[in-house]
Amino acid sequence: MPKVTPVRWQRLEKVFLRLGYVFSNQEGSHRTYVRAGSPRPVVIPTYGDVPVFIIMRNLRTAGVSRDEYLRLLEEV
């Protein structure tokens, strides 16, 4: 089973845009995305590679499984 690895923030952004999230605002180096029905916004830092712990936290917030994330990541 493939592991989740750090990815560029632009690629992670594309995954969440495909999940129905829309850009809300940016404060400093952190971009916020919202989706109707989601309990909290997803925050993606805009510096280089996004660490695994941030990716996993955002997936938990979005209610997305690791397998679904890896599938979407291959498509973008």
Q: Are 22 and 29 in contact (CB under 8 A)?
A: no
d(CA 46, CA 2): 25
* C-beta separation of 24 from 33 below 8 A: yes
Q: What global pTM score does this model have?
A: 0.92
pLDDT digits (tens, 9 = 90+) for 14-51: 999 999 999 999 999 999 999 998 889 999 999 899 99
Residue pair 12/50 in contact by the 8 Å Cβ criterion: yes
Handedness of CA 56, 57, 59, 63 (dihedral sign): positive
Helix (H) or strand (E) run with residue 26 in it: strand 22-27
Domains, the chain: 7-75 (3.30.920.30)
